[in-house]
Amino acid sequence: MKSKNQLLIIASLVVLFTVSVGFSTMTQGKWVAPASADKLENPLKGDEAATSKGKKIYKQMCAICHGMKGKGDGMAGSALKPKPANFTKAEIQEDSDGAIFWKITEGRGNMVSYKETLSETQRWQLVNFIRTFK
Ligand code: HEC
């Protein structure tokens, strides 16, 4: 009898787990980069020429969703769920440079991966520019 009850408990835990995982992918909560991303060094940190190159790329490729001022209010972003990130928010700026780089590289949902379209250098230039919204 005891083992039957245990089995029941395990079975309900499995169901609960599956439901909560399903739910979290559906609602797409806070996007967290893996810890390994925090270890990536920004080779362009403090490089102002790189930051202005990042600005150019941002205007061409990112502002349409993230907005000219980084507030996540770009024209093409308004209908998206979740909304494009607002780079002026502390919770975004708290990310390490490596984590931001990783997110640009990997993408998620409507935020596509820029691994193929932008070089590593260009992605770091963007990280530098995103910091200016702080
Ligand atoms: C088609 C609209 C769109 C474009 C274009 C776009 N993004 Fe995004 N971006 C999003 C959306 C939507 C999210 C939120 C994704 C999520 O949380 O699942 C996001 C999230 C992000 C994040 C993660 C913020 C965080 O910590 O949660 C970064 C960084 C980012 N975008 C950078 C960029 C950069 C740099 C570019 C240009 C190369 C760019 N994005 C272009 C829609 C876009």
* Ligand 1 centroid, distance to 41 Cα (angstroms): 21
Same domain for 38 and 26? no
Q: Which atom of ligand 1 is nearest to the CA of 99?
A: 26
* Ligand 1 centroid, distance to 59 Cα (angstroms): 13
Same domain for 36 and 20? no
**Contact present, 121 and 83 (Cβ < 8 Å):** no
Q: What is the pLDDT of residue 34?
A: 98
Summarised one tens digit per residue, pLDDT across range 62-117 is 999 999 999 999 999 999 999 999 999 999 999 999 999 999 999 999 999 999 99
In whole angstroms, what is the distance from residue 62 CA to residue 40 CA? 22
Summarised one tens digit per residue, pLDDT across range 17-63 is 666 655 555 556 889 999 999 999 999 999 999 999 999 999 999 99
Q: Which amino acid is at 117?
A: T
* Ligand 1 centroid, distance to 111 Cα (angstroms): 4
Domain extent at residue 86 = 31-131
Same domain for 14 and 77? no
- Per-residue pLDDT band for 9 (boundaries 50, 70, 90) equals confident
**Contact present, 118 and 60 (Cβ < 8 Å):** no
* In 1-107, alpha helices (H): 2-27, 48-61, 63-66, 90-93, 97-106
Q: What is the CATH number of the domain that holds 112?
A: 1.10.760.10
Same domain for 3 and 64? no
